[in-house]
Structure formats: C-alpha cells, structure tokens
Structure 1
C-alpha cells in the first residue's frame, strides 16, 4: 500500500527559502534609528562641544533638513 504524500499549495520559490518578515520587523529598527539620530543631532543637549566647528555646522544643517 502506498502512502499519500501531501503536496504544497504553492510551488516552491526558485531562489530558495521564501522568508517574509512582519511589518514591525522593519519599522521598529527604522524608528529606533531615527530616534537615536534625533537625540544625537539635538544641539540643546550638546553642552560641551569641543570639536571642529565645520562638523557642528554640518550636523546643525542636517538637523534643520530633517525637521522640515
């Protein structure tokens, strides 16, 4: 007597394993990145900035562009 072999409802993908991530697996790291970036670029928290003024101006410009 032969055993019944279950078949897949969809054909197997050509590239190998088909991995689908939930929406939050992309959204949460992205949100965390932008929150940390905003904390770094906040000039009110930079009490002792002993660096190159060009870098400080660049960071302020990036913050202005992000806040628009």
Structure 2
C-alpha cells in the first residue's frame, strides 16, 4: 500500500490570489512623487498656483523666502 503525497501550492498564489502588482500600480505613484518633488525643488514651475488671491500669493512668497534662507 503506497502513501499519497500532497503537493504544496505555489507560494506566489495562496488560495488563488495573485500577490503581484500590475506595472501601473508602481509607476503612477512614482511619477506623481517625482512631479511633486520637481515642483518643490523648482517653485518657478508652480506660478499658476500663485496667480489668484493676493493673500495666498504673499503666503507663498513668504514660505519661499523662509525656505531659501
């Protein structure tokens, strides 16, 4: 009489759920982070945000002066 052997499921697929991420789930947050980092490092690209209310414009200029010191 022979004993039956049990095969283990592949570690990447537990109970039928695939644990890998699609390419865009990594690429989109990376692109968004890079874009925000560029805006922080080069505030001259963010001129559209300061064309509205003069109070907000003054606040942005003040923050920029404090960061550049």
TM bin (shorter chain) = 0.3 to 0.5
User: What's the TM-score once normalised by structure 2's chain length?
Assistant: 0.42
User: What's the TM-score once normalised by structure 1's chain length?
Assistant: 0.42
Flag the structure with larger Rg.
Answer: 2
Higher relative contact order structure (alpha carbons within 8 Å, sequence separation ≥ 6): 1
